[in-house]
Amino acid sequence: MSYNFAYLDEQTKRMIRRAILKGVAIPGYQVPFASREMPMPYGWGTGGVQVSAACLTPDDVFKVIDQGADDTTNAVSIRRFFEKTAGVAVTEKTTEATVIQTRHRIPETPLSADQILVYQVPIPEPLRFLEPRETETRKMHGLEEYGLMHVKLYEDIARHGEIATAYAYPVKVEDRYVMDPSPIPKFDNPKLESPALQLFGAGREQRIYALPPYTKVFSLDFEDYPFDPSKAAHPCALCGAEDSYLDEVIVDDAGGRMFVCSDTDYCASRRETGEAA
């Protein structure tokens, strides 16, 4: 018998598990939970880590990405954390993983029904920058009063000629709750309608929310300014992919730059299988 599988104590996991179940039952609604101190600072994915800890079983294969990459500090440290505390198998391959924790991206490879995607969320409340009071935003969600969000998008158009929100682009879930999909690029928004279960954890803000599989997710827009999941107009400089989200990388001191896939597994496997142009 082993105690403290996946770091958290059992009572904490029960509390998180109850919050996750209510989140799943009310898609897009933010369930408060008693977020714990984790052995990493806020902003490093403490919410996602707690949700992952409550969901992992010893048989899971765990993958962590940070802005699409498996090999950045945040991803490596969280992956090692669960290797050590849960003894789970880990992978960098999207197709091999059963639980994927992510910071700010959805993998390019389509997810399947037997996968869970866990998001790290900094600010779960989509209305927070429009209305700072939690009591008021609660009421606005309760009354489905989302006019302010449309005014914000409209002001984008008035000022920039288009909806300038490029990440954390607000969505409406099942025609009811407006939800922050975490700071994923709006390019990823269409992927929010997925066969996989998606769970969102905000550690500092103490909120958990969820999108069950196949949940209807609508990116807010206007009839004359429809939602546009744009990306940089280049192919990936390494694998040639034209359908993946790209990072712009500065390569010298003379302003030289290149565009490469942000999803490292997608890019690497395309190069391995010779799909690269």
Contact set with other proteins (CB under 8 A):
1-6, 10-11, 13-15, 17-27, 29, 31-32, 54-59, 138-139, 141-143, 174, 176-177, 195, 197, 210-216
Q: Is 55 a catalytic residue?
A: no
Q: Residue 141 CB, nearest distance to other proteins (Å)?
A: 8
> 31 vs 20, 49, 259, CA distance in Å?
8, 16, 38
Q: Residue 174 CB, nearest distance to other proteins (Å)?
A: 6
Residue 56 or 69 with smaller CB distance to other proteins: 56
Residue 14 or 80 with smaller CB distance to other proteins: 14
Catalytic position from the list 87, 161, 236, 256? 236
Partner residues linked to 117 by β-bridges: 100, 198
Q: Is 239 a catalytic residue?
A: yes
Q: Residue 142 CB, nearest distance to other proteins (Å)?
A: 4
Residue 176 or 231 with smaller CB distance to other proteins: 176
Q: Residue 18 CB, nearest distance to other proteins (Å)?
A: 6
Residue 261 to residue 69: CA distance in whole angstroms:
9
Catalytic position from the list 23, 28, 45, 203? 28
Q: Residue 202 CB, nearest distance to other proteins (Å)?
A: 15
Residue 68 or 170 with smaller CB distance to other proteins: 170
Instruction: Annotate the chain with three-state secondary structure.
Output: CCCCCCCCCHHHHHHHHHHHHHHHHCCCCCEECCCCCCCCCCCCCHHHHHHHHHHCCCCCEEEEEECCECCCHHHHHHHHHHHHHCCCEECCCHHHCCEEEEECCCCCCCCCCCCEEEEECCCCCCCCCCCCCHHHHHHHHHCCCCHHHHHHHHHHHHHHCCCCCCECCCEEECCCEEECCCCCEHHHHHHHCCCCEEEEEECCCCEEEEECCCCCEEECCECCECCCCCCCCCCCCCCCCCCCCEEEEECCCCCCEEEEECCHHHHHHHHHCCCCC
Q: Residue 139 CB, nearest distance to other proteins (Å)?
A: 6
Enzyme catalytic residues: 28, 236, 239, 261, 267
